């Protein structure tokens, strides 16, 4: 199937659509044996790779590779009966499924060396394909698990990817929910801080910016309201406080698990190496002059320590907001306000309270 530009797009997309229907024949659990699953995947790859010696170079465009890679991403977890949360590269390694891009280039290289002994050429080119695949795996430093983009050093990539989606959701999908004062604030914050147990020990400006938009939408505030004014007027904590609290609750929950649980084993390893949230826990205890009892993994003791640290962390953030408001050159009237008298706030109100207010009015 040729086109005027020789891009082979119709050929590639047609083969990918045909194989997508074939992959659906495999159930994730039960059904064919492992050998038959691999055979079905090899058949799908053979259909996709028909004539690859000619059009292999066109796969250098991500648009052309996307359809075929999607077929392999759906097929690889079915071969090894993996959960959908397992990342694509990991499931392909377990299922021994070489990416289609490398297989197409391998066929082209074999075609270019057709004058040599075919058995030796195939063996050498397969070794070269495996080497290139391993190089790609080494370069891919991120993976997705349960909707969270994981990287070796931080969650910046995850939060950057989710910021745009979160802002869109705040305006369209969740707009009515976040703007409804009848829904408790804590429920709204849990929706907003999904997966904070993973990154709650770190502060991310991207998350704080979305929180500012979240507060403006929830309380119908103007866009020019500054972030420290938002926190002081709404009496809401920064996202760092809420996410840190979620992380501490998670650590306390893990401390109460049996030693044989994987979560408990991972927690012990983090504490022994003093990395990730264990290192941040130690830094916070030093900063606030508190004892570090994390190694004991005693749920009762950790709950008490977490409460003290969280209280001091909240106080620190509140004092920083007050200082910025006091010395602000833009909002000069704010420093003259009487902070001892507070206006009525929607924070903490529930549906029953609002119902009583409506009846009174």
The predicted-structure confidence for 10-45, as pLDDT tens digits, reads as follows: 656 666 666 666 666 666 666 777 788 888 778 877
First to last CA, the chain: 73
Take residue 275 and report the two structure tokens written for it. Answer: 């990395």
Q: Choose the weakest-confidence range: 107-111, 136-140, 315-319.
A: 136-140
Q: Is the pLDDT of residue 350 over 60?
A: no
**Position with higher pLDDT, 360 vs 67:** 67
Q: Is the pLDDT of residue 6 over 70?
A: no
**pLDDT band at residue 312, thresholds of 50, 70 and 90?**
very high
Return the top range by mean pLDDT from 164-178, 183-197, 307-321: 307-321
Q: Is the pLDDT of residue 190 over 70?
A: no
pLDDT score of 308: 92
Which percentage of the chain shows pLDDT scores above 70?
65
pLDDT score of 357: 43
Q: What are the residue ranges spanned by the domains of the chain? A: 9-140, 156-360
Mean pLDDT of 289-307: 89
**Position with higher pLDDT, 327 vs 301:** 301
**pLDDT band at residue 113, thresholds of 50, 70 and 90?**
confident
Mean pLDDT of 136-154: 62
pLDDT score of 360: 43
Angle at 75 between CA 72 and CA 77, to 5 degrees: 110
- Strand segments, DSSP code E, in 146-304 are 148-150
pLDDT score of 44: 79
Provide φ and ψ at 216, rounded to 5°: -65, -40
Mean pLDDT of 64-86: 76
Provide φ and ψ at 42, rounded to 5°: -65, -35
Q: What is the DSSP letter of 237?
A: P
Q: Is the pLDDT of residue 283 over 70?
A: yes
The predicted model scores a pTM of 0.52
Of 229, 139, 159, 243, nearest to 197 by C-alpha is 243
**Position with higher pLDDT, 224 vs 343:** 224
Take residue 191 and report the two structure tokens written for it. Answer: 């929706």
Buried b vs exposed e over 28-63: b needs ≥16 C-beta within 10 Å?
Answer: eeeeeeeeebbebbeebbeebbeebbbbbebbeeee
- 197-230 per-position pLDDT tens digit: 666 667 777 777 777 877 777 777 777 777 777 7
- 148-180 per-position pLDDT tens digit: 666 655 666 666 666 666 666 666 655 565 556
Q: Is the pLDDT of residue 292 over 60?
A: yes
**Position with higher pLDDT, 13 vs 347:** 13
**Position with higher pLDDT, 361 vs 105:** 105
pLDDT score of 116: 78
Of 273, 275, 284, nearest to 306 by C-alpha is 284
HSE value, Cβ hemisphere, 13 Å, CA-based, for 15: 23
């Amino acid at each position: 199937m040729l086109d005027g530009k020789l891009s082979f797009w119709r050929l590639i997309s047609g083969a990918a659509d045909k194989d997508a229907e074939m992959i659906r024949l495999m159930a994730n659990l039960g059904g064919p044996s492992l050998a038959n699953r691999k055979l079905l995947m090899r058949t799908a790859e053979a259909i996709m790779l028909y004539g690859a010696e000619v059009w292999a170079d066109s796969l250098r465009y991500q648009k052309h590779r996307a359809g075929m890679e999607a077929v392999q991403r759906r097929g690889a977890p079915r071969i090894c009966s993996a959960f959908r949360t397992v990342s694509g590269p990991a499931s392909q390694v377990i299922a021994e499924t070489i990416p289609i891009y490398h297989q197409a280039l391998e066929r082209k290289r074999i075609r270019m060396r057709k004058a040599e002994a075919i058995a030796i050429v195939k063996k050498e080119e397969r070794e070269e394909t495996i080497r290139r695949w391993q190089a790609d795996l080494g370069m891919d430093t991120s993976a997705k698990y349960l909707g969270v983009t994981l990287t070796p050093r931080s969650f910046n990539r995850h939060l950057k990817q989710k910021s745009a989606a979160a802002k869109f959701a705040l305006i369209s999908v969740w707009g009515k929910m976040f703007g409804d004062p009848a829904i408790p604030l804590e429920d709204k914050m849990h929706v907003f801080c999904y997966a904070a147990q993973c990154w709650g020990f770190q502060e991310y400006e991207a998350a704080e910016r979305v929180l500012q938009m979240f507060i403006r939408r929830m309380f119908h505030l103007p866009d020019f309201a500054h972030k420290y004014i938002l926190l002081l007027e709404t009496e809401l904590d920064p996202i760092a406080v809420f996410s840190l609290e979620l992380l501490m609750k998670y650590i306390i929950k893990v401390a109460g698990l049996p030693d044989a649980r994987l979560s408990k084993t991972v927690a012990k390893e983090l504490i022994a190496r003093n990395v990730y949230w264990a290192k941040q826990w130690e830094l916070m205890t030093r900063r606030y002059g508190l004892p570090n009892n994390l190694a004991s993994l005693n749920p009762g003791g950790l709950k008490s320590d977490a409460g003290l640290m969280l209280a001091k962390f909240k106080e620190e953030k509140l004092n920083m907001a007050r200082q910025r408001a006091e010395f602000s050159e833009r909002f000069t009237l704010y420093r003259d306000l009487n902070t001892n008298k507070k206006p009525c706030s929607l924070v903490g109100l529930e549906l029953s309270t609002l119902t009583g207010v409506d009846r009174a009015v």
